[in-house]
Structure 1
Amino acid sequence: MKLYVIPVASYQENCVVVACERTQRAAVVDPGGSGSDVDKVLAEVDDLGLTVESILVTHGHIDHVAGVKEMSDRLQVPVIGPHEDDRPVLAQLDKQAKLFGYPPAPGFEPDRWVEDGESIDVGDVRLQVVLVPGHTPGHVAFFDPESRYALTGDLLFQGAIGRSDFPGGDHDTLVRSIREKLFPLGDDVTFVPGHGPASTFGEERRTNPFVGDAAVA
């Protein structure tokens, strides 16, 4: 598996292209910018010679889904994720646009909601779905056990954690999701967050001031 990170829109959200190197099949994860940002992502896909077969969504906040409808319509591919507990979040895109200062984004419903523990194939790559509520109720992460990479959305960041003060968020749940669902995947796992630089679960377990071992001891 290869990952291509393409920051989009005003919040520099990490839209990620997941590619199978053997088949050149790909999935776009969290296309959070519309219009020119969709153009930018699809131009990168074309330059890489990839064929997008799905769009994956970690959670329903507008800075992660603003381009989903436009991209899915243009590519005619299914939208997969998040968990159905994020249905109320996705239903509030108009309110989110005003809250975050985003232009209005067209609403959508995924072609497939996902469940904890299921798998999603991207070419020969098999991503595991990990349900990690706390930032939103139906937030999920995508994990490739073979390459040891995870896409964690807005749950965990380098030296920080996601916000839990939006509707449906819960701080204690978020901390449990990180400590009990992400960290057990392994210290060697590199994760790409929804914003900012990548890190490893081991580094965050050792040093993160919010969810590291010392912080919860």
Structure 2
Amino acid sequence: MALQFELLPVTPFMQNCTLLWDEQSRAAVLTDVGGETERLLGEVAARGLDLQAVWLTHGHVDHVGGVVDLTKQVDVPVLGPHADDDFWIQQLPAITQAYRFPFSPPFTPTRWLNEGDTLTLGEHVFEVLHIPGHTPGHVVLYCAAAKLLVAGDVLFLESIGRTDFPRGNHADLIRNIREKILVLPDDTRVITGHGAMTTIGHEKRHNPFLR
């Protein structure tokens, strides 16, 4: 059965939280829960889905600021990002205040993710790729069978993630995109962390940062 998804932009930064679900089992996950918990849980309930987990690509506030609020309401595991982003998550109290986001205490994910780990949603398997550069612990999630990549803030439509944050690294980001992402099939659909979706083929042809 098909893997379904819906992009749900949250926070003033319009970050793409993604609701992913398995059509047959109705099992679902939410990726990058930056905020707006009531709305997100309402979207899950409206589709009659069974929320199984939260998956996180990296530790920036617009991607993780709503995690504690959501897990207080629904007891689900939090998977990801890579442990190298723990320093971002531990700064959440100060960062939420600085950006005038709803307060979030720090948290520790149920499980950190590493290169080569796999996540499952019903019958669908996602491979974890560690892509440091935007943040040191950034991961992306690739489902080969569905030709779908949850890319967080690594790759955007004709752009790439910023690398001017603490522990960002432009050379690392470009190298990891080239070696791990651009080698995926051209027709792989890419869910970006902000804005419109794209494909691997489109970015190979049109992304000025990757030429």
TM-score by length of 1: 0.93
Aligned to 1:129: 128
User: Contact 1:16/1:28 (CA < 8 Å) preserved in 2?
Assistant: yes
What secondary structure sits across from 2:178 in the alignment? helix
Deviation by residue 1:169-188 (Cα, 9 ceiling, x = unmatched)? 10111111111111112211
- Of the three residues 14, 20, 32, the one matched with 2:22 is 20
Identity of aligned residues (%): 39
Moved more, 68-77 or 132-141: 68-77
Q: In structure 1, list runs of 5 or more residues that go unmatched.
A: none
The number of equivalent residue pairs is: 209
User: Contact 1:5/1:15 (CA < 8 Å) preserved in 2?
Assistant: yes
- Does residue 153 (structure 1) correspond to residue 152 (structure 2)? The answer is yes
Mapping of residues 1-217 of structure 1, within 5 Å? 1-33=3-35, 37-211=36-210, 215=211
CA offset at residue 95 of structure 1?
Answer: 3.4
Deviation by residue 1:85-134 (Cα, 9 ceiling, x = unmatched)? 11112111133224534232221100000111111111211111111110
Moved more, 94-103 or 118-127: 94-103
Moved more, 65-74 or 89-98: 89-98
Indicate the RMSD between aligned Cα atoms, in angstroms. Answer: 1.1
Task: Tell me, in whole angstroms, the C-alpha distance in 1 between the residues paired with 2:99 and 2:156.
Answer: 20
Letter in 2 for 1:203: H
Q: In structure 2, list runs of 5 or more residues that go unmatched.
A: none
What secondary structure sits across from 1:110 in the alignment? coil
Deviation by residue 1:6-58 (Cα, 9 ceiling, x = unmatched)? 0111011000011011100011100111xxx1111111111111000100000
Letter in 2 for 1:181: K
Letter in 1 for 2:53: S
Task: Tell me, in whole angstroms, the C-alpha distance in 2 between the residues paired with 1:95 and 1:206.
Answer: 40
What secondary structure sits across from 1:210 in the alignment? helix
Letter in 1 for 2:16: N
CA offset at residue 206 of structure 1?
Answer: 0.7
Shift >6 Å, 4+ stretches: none
